[in-house]
Amino acid sequence: MTVSFSSLGLSDRIVTQLEGLGITEPTNIQEQAIPYLLAGKDVVGQSQTGTGKTAAFSLPMIERLDWQRPVVQALILTPTRELAMQVSAAMKTFLGGNERRSPILTVYGGQAIDLQIRRLESGVAAVVGTPGRVIDLIDRGHLRLGQVEWLVLDEADEMLSMGFIDDIELILSKLPTERQTAFFSATMAPPIRSLVNRFLKSPVTVTVDQVKAAPSKIQQQVYFIPRGWTKAQALQPILELEQPESAIIFVRTRKAAAELTNQLQSAGHSADEYHGDLTQTQRERLLTRFRSDKVRWIVATDIAARGLDVDHLSHVINYDLPDSVENYIHRIGRTGRAGKEGVAISLIHSLDRRKLQAIERRVKQSLTVCQIPTRAQVEAAHVQKIQGKVQEALSGERVASFLPIIAKMSEEYDVHTVAAAALQLVYDQTRPAWLDMEEPQMQERDRDRDRSNSYKPRGGGDRRGSGGGGKPVLRNSNDGGGRYDRRDSSPRNESSRYERDNNRDNRDYRGGYRSEERV
């Protein structure tokens, strides 16, 4: 029997919102945790990253809180600002409404504290933040916890490894005793179990096993999106260089599928869209064309792609990363079948780094970081492609019919010049349209690409680095931030602690980040 979000007790409004996001079936952790949280129980969720914990705690919270009441009713603590931003973004998506007037506030070090204070004073219903900044706002008197009904501690084991355990205890001690609490952690170390015993009331424990590893014959590659680029801009040169024989390009929404398909078709590629808006007849017709190689690339959403079962895929491309590691493995497993090799390509924004590292931990291997091809590389590959077609034509029968033309033209021009002119004509007619972008603009894009591809591992060329448990560290120009000014902190005898906490919030955490899981 298939479990649905409706059967878990969620309202039709939330179920409809999820369906609009292409999410129709709950993950294991969601299936187990949501009914207990809706019933008002405290929950301890022991689950690896990438299993869908964010939706597991945020959907019941969205269902039960009064989001029109401008007082803080929920507090979600995360170990890093990246996770805080991702959890907040997911909750806003589930809640819907106007993004600019969202009742959910994200707080972390490295961001101007005055802006966060103004938002708190104007009234918000939920706060997602890192421990150091949360304590700072509490001590300043701007984050008032007297009416908090929900507390969520996300990635509790990472909180422990980053040294936040004392800060967590301090925050918990300031919350009302009458509240609902949820802890989520991949492991249950003694200090975390001690917190559970002290601060949770008769909690229900739910546990989720890991998913299977990815097939070994799949080359898994990632491309980081340069700052200022769109994913479509990055995808163009990758496709030109890779030239997939057949591929599924996964996107998050139906709208994205339609837009990307239109862009690919406009560029002269054989592509079509596959999503939930298609009728069964349309889906079957498209699959028939795909299996017979009349369509080379399919742009699909996760919900529709479950019905795509083909054996000849050369590439799977994650234009949008999936919501969970489980879905990532499910996606890329559609290539590399029957003993064949396959390629899985993922486009990564800076905020997706935690997802990437969670994927690497789960598949137990480093994904190859590739540089987005330059204009010169794409043009060279295009010339090589034309050369291959010319070599094929030389062995064909039709070439003889063109020899008289060449013979006549060679009376006036050198035969090599004639051949070069013919190649130039073919090149100009088949050259990717986006390469016609003005040279200065292309050069600026290549410079941005080079800066973005400066993600370097610790310890030299191996992305795993040397020591430290083999966790990759990716340097990103978007990180920004640093310690906030001491003038904005609490009295001097307290400032060192907040600077220390803020530094934790903003550093490239050497132990690795955990992923925002399926939402």
Over residues 43-89, the pLDDT tens digits come to 999 886 667 889 999 999 999 999 999 999 999 999 888 788 889 98
* DSSP three-state, residue 264: helix
Give every CB contact of residue 392 below 8 A, 6+ residues apart in sequence: none
Q: Please identify every stretch of the chain with a pLDDT value under 50, giving residue numbers as ranges.
A: 213, 438-442, 455-519
Over residues 156-193, the pLDDT tens digits come to 888 887 788 899 999 999 999 999 999 998 888 888 88
pLDDT score, position 460:
36
Q: Is the dihedral of CA 276, 277, 280, 285 positive or negative?
A: negative
Give every CB contact of residue 57 below 8 A, 6+ residues apart in sequence: 33, 37, 43, 45, 76, 152, 154, 182, 184
CA distances for 173 relative to 42, 176, 312, 412, 514, angstroms: 17, 8, 58, 92, 26
Please give the order of strands across the beta sheet that includes 104-107. Answer: 104-107, 126-129, 74-77, 150-153, 180-185, 43-46, 204-207
The answer to whether 235 touches 247, Cβ cutoff 8 Å, is: no
Which of 400, 426, 399, 421 lies closest to 410, judged by CA? 421
Q: Please name the CATH architecture into which domain 12-207 falls.
A: 3-Layer(aba) Sandwich (3.40)
pLDDT score, position 507:
36
Which of 5, 126, 134 lies closest to 67, judged by CA? 126
Average pLDDT, the chain: 79
Phi and psi for 127 in degrees, rounded to 5? -125, 130
DSSP state of 209: P
343 DSSP β-pair partners: 219, 315
Q: Which fold has domain 218-372?
A: Rossmann fold (3.40.50)
pLDDT score, position 419:
82
The answer to whether 399 touches 392, Cβ cutoff 8 Å, is: no
CA distances for 289 relative to 79, 140, 266, 326, 462, angstroms: 48, 64, 19, 29, 42
pLDDT score, position 329:
83
CA–CA distance, 143 with 369 (Å, rounded to integer): 41
Intervals of CATH 3.40.50.300 along the chain: 12-207, 218-372
Which of 11, 126, 1 lies closest to 70, judged by CA? 126
The answer to whether 95 touches 21, Cβ cutoff 8 Å, is: no
* Residues making up the chain, counted from first to last: 519
Entry pTM: 0.52
Neighbouring CB atoms inside 10 A of 408's CB total: 10
Burial of 332 (0-12, 13-18, 19+ CB in 10 A): buried
CA–CA distance, 149 with 182 (Å, rounded to integer): 11
pLDDT score, position 214:
55
